[in-house]
Copies of this chain bind each other. A is one copy, B any other.
Amino acid sequence: MSVARFEVLHRDASGFARRGRLQLPHGVVETPVFMPVGTQATVKSLTPADLTDDIKASIILGNTYHLMLRPGADLVEKMGGLHRFMAWEKPILTDSGGFQVWSLGDLRKIEEHGVRFRSHIDGAEIFLGPKQSMHIQRQLGSDIVMAFDECTPYPASVDEANASMQMSMRWAAECRMHLPVNNHQALFGIVQGGMYPDLRLESLDAVAAIDFEGIAIGGLSVGEPKEEMLAMLDALAPHLPADKPHYVMGVGTPDDLIEGVDRGIDMFDCVMPTRNARNGTLFTDNGKLNIKNLCHAEDEQPIMEGCSCYTCTHFSRAYLRHLYMAKEILSSRLNTLHNLHYYCDLMQRARTALEDGNWPEFRDQFLQRYRDDA
């Protein structure tokens, strides 16, 4: 029996949106869910207590590439695994490292069994493929392991996209071989195929044919226009296996999340709320605000009226602007707390709307109000 039990609790009658529950070794994840990114065994600036108590995160993401280089998977394993090392007791999803090594550009060379690259830290030559990625993710001990794949560049010709996708599919099968269904870790396959719907559907068939515990969609949010990304999710939505969780990788803005849920996506991750926080960009239902702006200098309002996060219930925009201008560490922390709270709470609001049967109203009201270019 699979380690990841997924059930759909509610469906929106008018479309693909659904409210689900995913049971994993370290706990239950209510979906749709946003997963904060904890690249180097820490969600930047936050403690596990912040993530559980204030943000109500139920699952976080760890980066295999970063962890294998520093502190090293052997060390993490020796310290009892990633959960114990970083004192996070709830589920963890680890990516495969594929996207990060692909992002190295000229510093890496793709071969049939994986990617040869140089560490950005000390220049050491390293080989990472399906076999190695599965081994490392076992050492890390995550609840959800991601298959090792190649992210198809954007733009790419149909031939390039096809060759890349075919290799990812061979690698997907190899990953399942190296990490058979077991009681400790779930394995998610990843759909590729660039911006070509036919390739995407072929890839989905290949992934669905393997006994993965979840289906991910990779290679989106890599520079393509938002309409193209949504069109791809539209093309896939009717074909995603209904009994498995659907995860779109590295997406996105708050409105992307709502659009994704509407297309049957259950899981999201993105560095945007954390990275933007450190740059002073904060999310609200009306869109983004830049805390650096002079208009906030004497503003006694919280970032977002009605927000229940620690930052909004204690501090004014004036104070947050001061911390940012004074380059205080607390600036990153309070901003990150708010942005992640906003993202996770948005998914809670989506879950409630789905439970209450008013998803279409919630979605439309949200998208009408939210302006990503604000």
Contacts and interface: CB of A to CB of B under 8 A. Distances in A.
Interface of A: 40-42, 44-49, 70-71, 75, 78-79, 85-87, 297-298, 300, 310, 314-316, 318-319, 321-323, 325-326, 328-330, 332-334
Given A40-B326, A70-B322, 4 more contacts: A44-B330, A47-B334, A70-B326, A85-B319
Nearest to A319: B85
A45 B329 contact: yes
13 contacts: A40-B322, A40-B323, A45-B329, A45-B333, A49-B310, A70-B322, A70-B326, A71-B297, A71-B325, A79-B316, A86-B319, A329-B329, A333-B333
Closest 4 CB pairs of A and B: A45-B329, A87-B314, A71-B322, A42-B330
A328 B40 contact: yes
Given A70-B325, A79-B300, A85 B42 contact: no
B42 A87 contact: no
Nearest to A311: B47
**Residue among A75, A87, A330, A332 with the highest chain B CB neighbour number at 10 A:** A330
Contact of A75 (B48, B297, B315, B330): B297
Given A44-B329, A332-B329, A318 B79 contact: yes
A318 to B, nearest CB: 6
Number of copies: 2
Contacts of A47: 310, 314, 330, 333-334
Contacts of A314: 47-48, 87
B298 A78 contact: yes
Given A49-B310, A300-B79, A310-B49, A41 B329 contact: no
A145 to B, nearest CB: 22
A314 to B, nearest CB: 4
B40 A318 contact: no
A6 B328 CA distance: 35
Nearest to A330: B42
A191 to B, nearest CB: 32
Contacts of A46: 330
Contacts of A330: 42, 44-47
Given A300-B79, A328-B42, A330-B42, A87 B318 contact: no
B318 A85 contact: yes
A247 to B, nearest CB: 26
A87 B44 CA distance: 23
